[in-house]
Amino acid sequence: MGKNLEQWLIAKKKFGLSDAQVQMARELNLNPKKFGSLNNHDQEPWKAPLPQFIQSIYIKRFKREAPLEVTSIEDKIKNEKLKAAKKKKDKAGRRAAATSDKPTII
């Protein structure tokens, strides 16, 4: 699993974000490590709560309320693992084909 996706999983749990909000933040290229300073700690009444902040800047940049297609981080991790396994299998198949095509010298 990619380190970056792991950080997004931690931020999702820590700040109570939905899958759509995490995807919005990723599309905005926000850094999940910086969410602590962006989050409203109830001592800063001028700050919006983190989920509302993400949604407001997403609307400003993309002119829409939410992503067209929402994919959870867990699904992304699963797809990444499947893709890596398929790539590894294809590479092993190509290696086997390349070694069987070579003439053997006795």
On whether residue 46 sits in a domain, the answer given is: yes
On whether residue 33 sits in a domain, the answer given is: yes
Tokens read off for 38? 């962006």
Domain that includes residue 77, residue range: 3-101
The tens-digit pLDDT sequence of the chain (106 residues) is 567 899 999 999 999 999 999 999 999 999 999 999 998 878 888 889 999 999 999 999 999 999 999 999 999 989 999 999 999 999 999 888 888 766 666 6
Report the predicted TM-score, pTM, of the whole model to 2 decimal places. 0.78
On whether residue 106 sits in a domain, the answer given is: no
How many separate domains does the chain show? 1
Burial of 58 (0-12, 13-18, 19+ CB in 10 A): buried
* DSSP code, position 32: G
